[in-house]
């Protein structure tokens, strides 16, 4: 920065002396001094790279363009050197270096700013943790805490390691890890994940995992490694940059030689210098900065933006697949539904049926029994049940107030000669009989997540077909599909059947996302174009097989991922196409317009780069 200011302070008097007095011995040293202050780093780098055989780098281009301008001035306008304004090309040469350095400075700032933004999105780990050793708290780096050690988290601080609370209680902001915006109350015995923020009162946590294997570190690792898998666009850019610069250099050489040779036949020596000057403009334009800086930032900004929204992408190459997919296949249990049984409706006198059934079911731990007990609440203590019996696969029985109560499937009741009204619901029905009479039916189902239907509807708006792949029965699968608006339902599937169906869709030309909880769906996750593991970085198998990990327990995140991927791809294309079009336009102008000013070429070049970086940063915000 200082060298730029110094160069400009030298540059201004040089121009004045040049324009007003035309004294070569006065303005030339000033130009030269200004040039050297602005450009000595460029010269040094270019020299180093040439020694290493890396000729076509931007430093070299700038060096040639500016030195070329000086040479041009001495060779072709020598006669005019002593008249006012005689150092015009020299001035251009210095200006190239100054503007290039100004541009580099702003580019550097822009890149650093975007890095800072990306990092702040990923700042889910604390830098320091307070470990309890020999009864004293000690501030240490989190990676020095071993599993089994205790550490204290004060209100407002992030939890560093996964563990379990051993004393105290607090509210936890789990949004960074689970996407849940509502704070969760946690007390002794509750497990805590790193990345959660503690509120209200301090807690002491026993570390269960080392820092590097804790949730926050694993999330970060995924995101950082995502940068390694480059998107196709990015690979194209790197390859393109390798050939682009030499080609433009060759082109500029042609411009310098071919037209003047023809014109020389017309005996017009002056045009020679004009064409060389135009060739120098081309050299300046041939710098691929705008592309090689902005495109990687676009993709990484996109990865960072999604990470902030609890969506972890395993590679920048995923954006393209997500953006172009047209089918989303959902697993049912744990993905569309919450995976926990709940009483969804009760036929008959609801209070009476629930309290009678609850008093019996509370003695059992089967998921169905638990769901009834939970729904009954306090009513489950209304009666005292004796002689409680379990009929595995059928239901339970007990005696209340001297009369028999039965709760179970149809068989349990009909075996005992009780007439029942058969339920028409596709879900699990628990028939309740009291005193040999069927008094009501409790319908139990796996609760559908609140936003499942909304997410499916939104996907449909985007012309994406939603299908369901489930191992469950036809009736249940179809009922859940109908409620969520899912278009096609494949039921009674084994895990390998899911893979076969995904392959079938792919062979029909569809691009397919598979979203599953990842526990037994690893083959399907790996087969789909994009495998999306729902529900956190817990299982290694799921992360291994998936391309995308969603920390939040909601299907709407898929809609977010889809929308954002489209945005990232379009920003990348804008940057690629925009930069190329502007560069092409500049090139045409530099060739066609006689004495096209060098400094416009460089401002155009640097300007495109800055605009592209700013555009790239749009991918940080997710809507």
Partner 1 sequence: MTKMYEAEDLCCGVCAQRLEVALNKIPDVEAKVFFALGKVKITAPDEKFDEIFKEVKRVAKIIEPDAKLKEIRS
Catalytic residues: 331
Q: Is 78 exposed, middle or buried (0-12, 13-18, 19+ CB in 10 A)?
A: exposed
* One residue of 295, 486, 522, 602 binding partner 1 per CB under 8 A: 295
* Contacting residue, 227, 251, 418, 580, with partner 1 by CB under 8 A: 227
Across-strand partners of 581? none
Nearer to partner 1, 77 or 217 (CB): 217
Question: Mask 112-131, x = binds partner 1 (CB under 8 A)?
Answer: x-xx--xx-------x----
- List phi, psi (to 5°) of 488: -125, 140
211 binds partner 1 (CB under 8 A): yes
Q: Would you call 478 helix, strand, or coil by DSSP?
A: helix
Gap between the Cα atoms of 473 and 343, Å rounded: 19
The answer to whether the beta carbons of residues 515 and 556 sit under 8 Å apart is no
The one segment of 105-113, 151-159, 253-261, 501-509 that binds partner 1 by CB under 8 A: 105-113
Reduced DSSP (H G I as helix, E B as strand, rest coil) percent helix, strand, coil of the chain, to 5: 55, 20, 25
The CB-of-580 to partner 1 minimum distance in angstroms stands at 16
- Give the x/- contact pattern for partner 1 in 32-71, rule: CB under 8 A: ------------xx--x---x-x-----------------
Part of the chain binding partner 1 (CB under 8 A), chosen from 64-72, 190-198, 211-219, 274-282: 211-219
Site for partner 1 contains 347 (CB under 8 A): no
Please tell me the distance from the alpha carbon of residue 463 to that of residue 486, in angstroms, as a whole number: 13
For residues 157 and 213, which CB has a smaller minimum distance to partner 1 in the complex?
213
Given the rule CB under 8 A, which of 79-87, 108-116, 557-565, 586-594 is the region that contacts partner 1? 108-116
Euclidean distance between CA atoms 590 and 576, whole angstroms: 21
Between 289 and 493, name the residue whose CB sits nearer to partner 1. 289
What is the contact mask toward partner 1 in residues 237 to 276, using x (rule: CB under 8 A)? xx--x-----------------------------------
Q: Which residues pair with 157 in a beta bridge?
A: none
- Applying CB under 8 A, the span of 231-239, 272-280, 350-358, 555-563 interacting with partner 1 comes to 231-239
Residues paired with 74 in a beta bridge: none
Which window, 61-69, 196-204, 294-302, 328-336, contacts partner 1 (CB under 8 A)? 294-302
C-alpha distances (whole Å) from 569 to each of 114, 118, 323 are: 18, 18, 8
Q: Cβ–Cβ contacts within 10 Å for residue 474, how many? A: 12
Task: Name residues whose C-beta falls within 8 Å of residue 13's C-beta, 6 or more positions apart in sequence.
Answer: 30
Which two three-digit tokens encode residue 345? 């409706």
Residues 451-470, interacting with partner 1 (CB under 8 A):
none
Burial 310-349 (b: 16+ CB within 10 A, else e): bbbbbbbbbbbbbbebebbbbbbbbbbbbbebbbbebbbe
Q: Whole-number minimum distance, CB 296 to partner 1, in Å?
A: 4
Pick one of 87, 103, 195, 301: the residue that binds partner 1 (CB under 8 A): 301
Q: Return the residue of 4, 23, 71, 111 that touches partner 1, per CB under 8 A.
A: 111
Of 353 and 620, nearer to partner 1 (C-beta) is 620
Q: Which of residues 395-424 bind partner 1 (CB under 8 A)?
A: none
Which residue, 290 or 456, is less far from partner 1 as judged by CB? 290
- Of the listed pieces 287-295, 505-513, 521-529, 598-606, which binds partner 1 according to CB under 8 A? 287-295
Looking at the Cβ atoms of 117 and 556, the one nearer to partner 1 is 117
The phi, psi pair for 397, rounded to 5°, reads -145, 160
Q: For the CB of residue 87, give the shortest distance to partner 1 in the complex, in Å.
A: 31
- How many CB atoms within 10 Å of residue 272? 19
Pair 471, 493: CB distance under 8 Å: yes
Scanning residues 479 to 538, which ones bind partner 1 (CB under 8 A)?
A: none
Which residue of 21, 201, 212, 492 would you call a contact of partner 1, by CB under 8 A? Answer: 212
Residue 570 token pair: 């379009």
- 107 scored as a contact of partner 1 (CB under 8 A): yes
Closest-CA residue to 61 (of 14, 31, 104): 104
Please enumerate in sequence order all residues whose Cβ is within 8 A of that of 623, keeping only pairs 6 or more positions apart, or say none: 563, 564
Place of tokens 């460029």: 42
Angle at 611 between CA 605 and CA 617, to 5 degrees: 140
Contact window for partner 1 (CB under 8 A) among 10-18, 78-86, 298-306, 520-528: 298-306
Give me 503's structure tokens.
Answer: 């392959």
Minimum gap (Å) between residue 113 Cβ and partner 1 = 11
Taking the least distance from each CB to partner 1, the nearer of 143 and 180 is 143
Instruction: Classify residue 440 by its DSSP letter.
Output: E
**Residue 313 touching partner 1 (CB under 8 A):** no
Q: What are the contacts of 500-509 at 24+ separation with CB within 8 A?
A: 501/329, 501/469, 502/329, 502/469, 502/527, 502/528, 503/527, 505/327, 505/329, 505/467
| x-or-dash string of contact with partner 1, 589-608, rule CB under 8 A | --------------------
Q: Least distance from C-beta 115 to partner 1, angstroms?
A: 5
Angle at the Cα of 396 (from 393 to 401), degrees rounded to 5? 170
296 binds partner 1 (CB under 8 A): yes
Specify whether the CB–CB gap between 552 and 180 falls below 8 A: yes
Q: 463: burial class by Cβ within 10 Å (0-12, 13-18, 19+)?
A: exposed
48 vs 421, which CB is nearer to partner 1? 48
Shortest CB 621 distance to partner 1, Å: 16
Size of the site for partner 1 (CB under 8 A): 37
As measured in angstroms, the least distance from the Cβ of 251 to partner 1 is 20
β-strands 465-469, 488-490: how paired? Answer: parallel
Residue 568 within binding range of partner 1, rule CB under 8 A: no
288 binding partner 1? (CB under 8 A): yes
- Near partner 1 by CB under 8 A, which window of 200-208, 236-244, 387-395, 422-430? 236-244
Residues at the interface with partner 1 (CB under 8 A): 44-45, 48, 52, 54, 104, 107-108, 111-112, 114-115, 118-119, 127, 141, 143, 211-212, 217, 224, 227-228, 234, 237-238, 241, 288-289, 292-293, 295-297, 299-301
């Amino acid at each position: 920065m200082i060298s730029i200011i110094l160069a400009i302070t030298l540059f201004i008097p040089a121009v004045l002396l040049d324009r007003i007095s035309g004294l070569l011995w006065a303005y030339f040293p000033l130009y030269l001094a200004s040039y050297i202050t602005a450009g000595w780093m460029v010269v040094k780098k270019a020299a180093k790279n040439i020694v290493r055989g890396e000729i076509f780098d931007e430093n070299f281009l700038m060096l040639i363009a500016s030195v070329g301008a000086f040479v041009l001035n001495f060779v072709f306008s020598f006669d005019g050197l002593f008249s006012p304004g005689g150092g015009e090309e020299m001035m251009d040469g210095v200006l190239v270096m100054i503007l290039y350095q100004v541009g580099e400075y702003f580019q550097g700032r822009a890149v650093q700013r975007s890095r800072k933004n990306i990092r702040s999105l990923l700042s889910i780990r604390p830098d320091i943790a307070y470990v309890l050793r020999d009864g004293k708290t000690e501030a240490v780096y989190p990676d020095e805490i071993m599993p089994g050690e205790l550490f204290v988290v004060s209100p407002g601080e992030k939890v560093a390691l996964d563990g379990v609370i051993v004393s105290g209680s607090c509210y936890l902001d789990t949004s960074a890890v689970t996407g849940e915006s509502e704070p969760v109350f946690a007390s002794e015995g509750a497990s805590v994940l790193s990345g959660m923020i503690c509120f209200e009162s301090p807690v002491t946590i026993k570390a269960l995992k080392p820092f590097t294997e804790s949730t926050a570190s694993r999330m970060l690792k995924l995101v950082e490694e995502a940068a390694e898998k480059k998107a196709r666009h990015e690979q194209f850019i790197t390859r393109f940059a390798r050939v682009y610069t030499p080609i433009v250099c060759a082109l500029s050489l042609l411009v310098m030689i071919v037209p003047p040779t023809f014109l020389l036949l017309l005996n017009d020596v002056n045009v020679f210098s004009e064409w060389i000057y135009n060739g120098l403009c081309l050299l300046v334009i041939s710098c691929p900065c705008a592309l090689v800086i902005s495109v990687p930032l676009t993709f990484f900004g996109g990865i960072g933006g999604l990470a902030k929204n609890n969506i972890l992408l395993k590679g920048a190459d995923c954006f393209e697949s997500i953006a172009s997919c047209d089918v989303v296949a959902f697993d049912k249990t744990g993905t569309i539904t919450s995976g926990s049984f709940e009483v969804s409706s009760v036929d008959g006198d609801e209070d009476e049926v629930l309290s009678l059934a609850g008093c019996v079911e509370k003695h059992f731990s089967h998921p169905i029994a638990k769901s009834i007990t939970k729904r009954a609440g306090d009513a489950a203590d209304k009666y005292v049940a004796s002689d409680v019996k379990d009929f595995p696969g059928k239901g339970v029985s007990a005696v209340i107030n001297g009369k028999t109560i039965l709760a179970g499937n149809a068989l349990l009741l009909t075996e005992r000669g009780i007439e029942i009204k058969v339920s028409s619901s596709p879900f699990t029905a628990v028939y309740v009989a009291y005193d040999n009479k069927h008094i009501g039916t409790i319908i139990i189902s796996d609760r559908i997540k609140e936003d499942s239907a909304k997410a499916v509807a939104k996907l449909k708006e985007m012309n994406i077909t939603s299908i369901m792949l489930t191992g469950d029965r036809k009736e249940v699968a179809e009922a859940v599909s109908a409620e969520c608006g899912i278009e096609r339902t494949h039921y009674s599937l084994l895990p390998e059947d899911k893979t076969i169906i995904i392959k079938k869709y792919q062979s029909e030309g569809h691009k397919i996302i598979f979203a599953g909880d990842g526990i037994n769906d690893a083959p399907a996750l790996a087969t789909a174009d994009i495998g999306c593991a729902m529900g956190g970085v817990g299982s290694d198998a799921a992360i291994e097989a998936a391309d995308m990990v969603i920390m939040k327990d909601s299907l709407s995140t898929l809609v977010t991922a889809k929308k954002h991927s489209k945005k990232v791809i379009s920003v990348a294309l804008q940057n690629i196409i925009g930069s190329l079009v502007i560069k092409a336009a500049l090139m045409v102008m530099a060739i066609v317009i006689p004495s096209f000013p060098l400094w416009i070429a460089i401002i155009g070049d640097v300007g495109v780069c800055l605009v592209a970086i700013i555009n790239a940063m749009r991918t940080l915000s997710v809507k």
